[in-house]
Amino acid sequence: MIKNPIVAPSLLAADFLRLEEEIEFINSSHADWLHLDIMDGRFVPNISFGMMVVEAASRVCRKTLDVHLMIVEPEKYVEEFAKAGAQNITVHAETCSHLHRNIQQIKALGCHAGVAINPHTPVGILEHVIEELDLVLIMSVNPGFGGQKFIFETLNKIRQTRQMIQNRNSKALIEIDGGVGLQNAEKIMEAGADVLVAGSSVFKSKNPADTINKLKSIGNLPKYDV
Ligand code: DX5
Ligand code: ZN
């Protein structure tokens, strides 16, 4: 029996002209977290939004604010994101020369600390920090854009990370981000994930509330092919 995922809709796929309504919808849904994608046009080839939007969202949002920093030199900005209301702050291993220090910095601000890895980055990069982590975010697309196709190899990375977490007795949750939807969520959970980020598959679906409900109860659904 697969456990129920933590479901984290990504605001990137929402209608930014109706942000308050979109966040109120998340409040009223069975979603657990609101995922906020910060892109700088340097680490990733796209620019999204910054701490002003996180702060505005925090005034309305009653779900956990899960901030994913796709930016270079994240250490310069984590304090501002914490002040803006971020509860989870995830930095990319590829952007941190001092990853251990960056994790301590996030925890000292009273936030849950996460590390994200790109599709090509080996899970082994986390080996010496896994006990320090609250979250491991495994990118299942190359970061920068919503609506991309799930990279199947991610399933092996989830299994490897689950093994590492068990071996080291870490309490880190495994979060999967990119191309996640009803067609592959069950396989992702079977591989050992805890948290599903879902942008397009929630906000662009005909009935977003129903899609969130189906993602939440993924263990009870009929099987789908990836
Ligand atoms: C991609 C972002 C994702 C994005 C996911 O770089 O990190 O969080 O919003 O969007 P979908 O679910 O549409 O792939
Ligand atoms: Zn993300």
pLDDT tens string 123-164:
999 999 999 999 999 999 999 999 999 999 999 999 999 999
State the total domains in the chain: 1
Ligand 1 pocket member 179 (CB < 6 A):
yes
d(CA 62, CA 141): 28
Write down the pTM of the prediction: 0.96
| Domain annotation covers residue 154 | yes
Running along the chain, 226 residues long, what does each successive block of 10 average in pLDDT?
92 98 98 98 98 98 99 98 98 98 98 98 98 98 98 98 98 98 97 98 98 92 52
The residues with which 53 forms a beta bridge, in sequence order, are none
Could you tell me if 31 and 60 are in contact, meaning their C-beta atoms sit under 8 angstroms apart?
Answer: no
Measured on CA atoms in the order 109, 113, 119, 122, is the torsion positive or negative?
positive
Ligand 1 pocket member 199 (CB < 6 A):
yes
Residue 221 is predicted with a pLDDT of 53
What is the CA 120 to chain-centroid distance, rounded?
17
Ligand 1 atom with the smallest distance to the CA of 39 is: 6
Ligand 1 pocket member 13 (CB < 6 A):
yes
| CATH code assigned at 209 | 3.20.20.70
Ligand 1 atom with the smallest distance to the CA of 178 is: 14
Ligand 1 pocket member 143 (CB < 6 A):
yes
Ligand 1 atom with the smallest distance to the CA of 150 is: 14
Spatial neighbors of 223 by CB under 8 A, at least 6 apart, are 186
Residue 222 is predicted with a pLDDT of 54
What is the CA 182 to chain-centroid distance, rounded?
17
Q: Mutate which of 145, 183, 195, 215 to test ligand 1's pocket (most atoms within 8 Å of Cβ)?
A: 145
Amino acid (1-letter code) at residue 144: G
d(CA 114, CA 135): 4
Check 40, 66, 177, 194 and give the catalytic one. Answer: 177
The residues with which 197 forms a beta bridge, in sequence order, are 8, 177
| Domain annotation covers residue 225 | no
| Domain annotation covers residue 1 | no
| Domain limits for position 76 | 6-220
